[in-house]
Structure 1
Amino acid sequence: MKEYRAFLLGQDGHIFDAAGFEASDDEDALQKAQSLVDGCDVEIWQLARKVGAIRAVANGLASEGRPKDESLRAEQARQVAEEYANDQRGIIKKLRKPQN
């Protein structure tokens, strides 16, 4: 199983939530991410590689499913994205170290 992340995008295109999950391959990851499309667009990533995106129907964007405190959710999403980026930087540093 491979690790994937799904980033939920608000109407403004900014991340407001993220979810990590495991899938056997990209197709399985895209199918699993379908359940997250609740009136918002979802991007699916494996490490630093974008696997794909699922777009919500334009007229199907529902306001009842939106977070009540968008600024708090936006800050949480920023923190998740920052942690993910830091993880990736750590992996890159390890890969760049010369092997003795």
Structure 2
Amino acid sequence: MPEYRVYAIGEDGNISLRLDLMCANDDAAKERAKVLADDRVIELWQFGRKIGTFKPDPLKNERVAGWLKGELRPPK
């Protein structure tokens, strides 16, 4: 199974966290990396090959924050 590395990029542009992943292929690794991009920028690499950059969805974060504050109601 191919080995991948996920890097969380901090606000200062430096790596703040590294995770090693074992995934069947690039598509599976991308799906796992997207989940990690919930609140931070994520870069996915396989050795020296950059596969992609995944950014948080700002609208999703605003909706969740609104629900937590009681400003928005979840859809019924």
Query: Which residue identity does 2:45 align to in structure 1?
Result: W
Q: Match of 1:19?
A: 19
Partner of 2:53: 53
Richer in strand (by share)? 2
Structure 2 match to 1:38 = 38
In the alignment of these two chains, the number of paired residues is: 61
Query: Once superposed, which parts of structure 1, at least 4 consecutive aligned residues long, lie more than 4 Å away?
Result: none
Deviations, residues 40-83 of structure 1 (Å, cap 9, x unaligned) = 000000011001110123574xxxxxxxxxxxxxxxxxxxxxxx
% identical equivalent positions: 32
Q: Check 1:23–1:42 CA distance in 2 against 1; reply closer, same or farther (3 A cut).
A: same
Does residue 1:8 correspond to 2:8, yes or no?
A: yes
From the two aligned structures, give the one with the greater helix fraction. Answer: 1
Gaps of 5+ in 2: 62-76
> Which consecutive unaligned segments of at least 5 residues does structure 1 have?
61-100
TM-score by length of 1: 0.55
Query: What TM-score do the two structures reach when normalised by structure 2?
Result: 0.70
Paired with 2:13 and 2:39, the residues of 1 have a C-alpha distance of 13
Q: What code does the residue aligned with 1:3 have?
A: E
**Counterpart of 2:68?**
none
